[in-house]
Homo-oligomer: A and B are copies of this chain.
Amino acid sequence: MTKQTVMAAAPVTDLSDSRFLRACRREPVDATPIWLMRQAGRYMPEYRALREKYSILELIKTPELACEVTLQPLNAFDLDAAIIFADILPLLEGLGLVLEFARGEGPVLHNPVRTAVDVEALLVLPPEEALPFTLKAIRLARRELEGRGIPLIGFSGAPFTLAAYAVEGGSSRNYEKVKGLMMGDPVTWHRLMEKLSEAVGHYLLAQAQAGAQALQIFDSWVGVLSPDDYRTLVMPYSHHAIEIARGGGVPIIHFSTNTGGMLELIREAGGDVIGVDWRIDLATARERLGNGVAIQGNLDPVALMAPWPELRRRARHVLDRAAGQPGHIFNLGHGVLPRTPVDNVRRLVEFVHESTRR
């Protein structure tokens, strides 16, 4: 099913039979589906052109622009899924934190959460009030994509990753503040995680209700924890958020990085698809995760910058380690890096489809 044939076909209204959604359910597919985390981003000239006119937050908060950015990689490549252009941090803004994307520094939260009083002040509003722009962008993008036969993924940060941003006030080297709260004031920690898991769960659910046909929960920073801390202080809240989101009736992808020491716990927290980074072999991951879930991953994003023969060899290796079983969604192990050549993305997408076509 190339882009050309889809575009020539009559509009499809039910995409549950699409390659991507079938793979989420571990059903046989005609070829391995592929999409890429951060597939809309700085590596694309179309995106950079928009960024010259608008800030990241303007792109995210203007539904028409967010929809346009969402579609950019779909216009350029034969990808099997779109992901709504958004960010994990506006959810914290919705709770009352003051967010800024400072130039060259990454995101900063000017009033980080450090005490019980700070946690009590966080206000969990309905997603329609807290994040209306992303829900509207989903409605717009869903309409655009349906005619092309491409399902749309909604997403949220996971409670721990959001807590880490909220408490540290930005990115961090050793996560001393968030772990300090976790270890030093467990009552406040649990209250913070309760609020975040409610906000995340209902945000994901609202995205499904707005039209997202799959949901991804990003726990990008959870790999800084020990398995025991994850099990007791984090997993119940990831689980709770996922349980709320399941009300949307769409597949849920649970993504984390640096969790090779506790992959079984990530699975236990929930998700129909487990997204893994490149730090674990895909066959090992499948063995440890069992056959009850699909797997998404796991090319090293730096490989997408390698000369094509080397990139192809590495893509082939990922496919080999997935062993041709259904329930594999090809992706990177993390987001596309800004210096990635556009041509490599195009060739990778073609290669994954062509070399797996049944």
B225 touching A183, Cβ below 8 Å: no
Does A154 count as interface, using CB distance less than 8 angstroms? no
Does A133 count as interface, using CB distance less than 8 angstroms? no
Query: With A184-B310, A279-B226 known to touch, is A176 a contact of B305 (CB < 8 Å)?
Result: yes
A223 touching B180, Cβ below 8 Å: no
B305 touching A227, Cβ below 8 Å: no
A263 CB to nearest chain B CB (Å)? 8
A180 touching B284, Cβ below 8 Å: no
User: Which chain B residues lie closer than 8 Å to A317 at the CB level?
Assistant: 228
B223 touching A305, Cβ below 8 Å: no
A227 touching B302, Cβ below 8 Å: no
Does A95 count as interface, using CB distance less than 8 angstroms? no
User: Which chain B residues lie closer than 8 Å to A223 at the CB level?
Assistant: 258, 279
Q: Which of A171-192 contact B (CB under 8 A)?
A: 174-176, 179-180, 183-184
B226 touching A281, Cβ below 8 Å: yes
Can you name the residue of chain B whose Cβ is closest to the Cβ of A303?
Answer: B183
- Which of B174, B180, B259, B278 interacts with A226 by CB under 8 Å? B278
Does A261 count as interface, using CB distance less than 8 angstroms? yes
Can you name the residue of chain B whose Cβ is closest to the Cβ of A313?
Answer: B183
A174 to B278, CA, bound (A): 13
Query: With A260-B262, A279-B223, A280-B262 known to touch, is A302 a contact of B228 (CB < 8 Å)?
Result: no
Does A98 count as interface, using CB distance less than 8 angstroms? no
Does A68 count as interface, using CB distance less than 8 angstroms? no
Query: With A174-B301, A281-B227 known to touch, is A306 a contact of B184 (CB < 8 Å)?
Result: yes
A179 touching B300, Cβ below 8 Å: yes
Does A337 count as interface, using CB distance less than 8 angstroms? yes
Interface set of A (CB-CB < 8 Å, partner B): 174-176, 179-180, 183-184, 223-229, 258-262, 278-281, 284, 298, 300-303, 305-307, 310, 314, 317, 337, 339
